[in-house]
Amino acid sequence: MDLENIELVEVGPRDGLQNEPDIISTDAKLALIERMIGYGARRLEVASFVHPQRVPQMADAEGVIASLPDRKDCTYIGLVLNKRGVMRALATRDDGARGVDQVGCVIVASDTFGQKNQGQTIAEGLAETRAMLRFAKVEGLRAQVTISAAFGCPFEGEVKHDTVLAIAEELAIEAPEEIALADTIGVGTPAEVTQLFGRLGALLGDTIPMRAHFHNTRGTGIANGWAAYQAGVRIFDASLGGLGGCPFAPRATGNIATEDLVYMMARSGVDTGIDLDAAIAANKWFADVLGRELPSAVARAA
């Protein structure tokens, strides 16, 4: 029996690069995005609108966005943490420019991590994020939201499922295009993923799609991806080569690799729209740019 296809959101240009110690040039980022589109990525997180002193790798966000290919079949996403970020995203569309198509808002499911990541408690983050979603909608800008550290906090440890679901319930009032759960520090296991996404799906019903964002810090990321699929998730974030990490989460490692997710899904009968051979070729090219092999298991085995 044919299984439902998934949509893959390529987060390599933002989440994949933000923790890199050496600054990647704007031209190299654009060349990477071109290759990602070449292997079939049609929804890409291309930059974040954050203070350059906090995340120096994203200092050229507007420069990258101004030179993106004007592809009608692609959706470009910019990460935003506050209203100022939404305003910067809107400014990329001034004077008829293409700009970003969608903003991705973030709220952290723990007070301590939220204060370190964006200076907000959960309560403050909810108020800010709901206001951002409303503001973006009024301005005609598409918006979705991610609940970060949904499976564990690097400072507080366990994050209760009830906390995550209470956040999701409040966010759903603003009708974002998606609600994602992110395992920011890679502590989740398939059993936890099945339970939490199962409860989230029951909460949201058919009103708001779910998205999954996994990191492979403890080697469970791909298994968690399959558990999320079985729990009803059909939209997944992944990063070419398994690059990534959060500057504010100690010892955080990369996202699940695009190649690894595509391989697992394809072998399981699920279409992703991604050309695996072309993704592996892009991996090898970017490894030369960085001067090191990338973490993806599938690319290393190729």
122-138 and 161-172 helices, crossing angle to 10°: 30
Number of residues that this document lists for the chain = 302
Q: Is 101 helix (H, G, I), strand (E, B) or coil?
A: coil
Taken in order of first residue, the domains within the chain and their CATH numbers are 7-301 (3.20.20.70)
Q: In angstroms, what is the C-alpha Rg of the chain? A: 18
Catalytic residue among 74, 105, 153, 246: 246
DSSP 8-state code for residue 49: E
DSSP 8-state code for residue 217: T
Burial class (CB in 10 A: 0-12, 13-18, 19+), 155: middle
* pLDDT at residue 227 in the model: 98
Q: Calculate the CA 2 to chain-centre distance.
A: 27
* Beta strands, E only, 169-232: 179-183, 210-214
Closest listed residue to residue 44, CA positions, set 11, 89, 15, 17: 11
Q: Can you list the residues of the chain whose pLDDT is less than 70?
A: 1-2, 246-252
* pLDDT at residue 1 in the model: 47
Residue written as token pair 């692609």: 74
Could you give the CA distance from residue 186 to residue 249 in angstroms, rounded to a whole number?
11
Our answer to whether residue 105 is catalytic in this structure is no
Amino acid at 273: G
CA dihedral 104, 108, 113, 115 (to 10 degrees): 80
Residue written as token pair 């592809």: 71
Contact 119, 84 (CB under 8 A): no
CB atoms within 10 A of CB 285: 13
* pLDDT at residue 246 in the model: 65
Instruction: Summarize pLDDT for 91-116 with one digit per residue, the tens.
Output: 999 999 999 999 999 999 998 777 87
Burial class (CB in 10 A: 0-12, 13-18, 19+), 267: exposed
Instruction: Summarize pLDDT for 31-81 with one digit per residue, the tens.
Output: 999 999 999 999 999 999 999 988 999 999 999 999 999 999 999 999 999
Amino acid at 244: G
* pLDDT at residue 156 in the model: 83
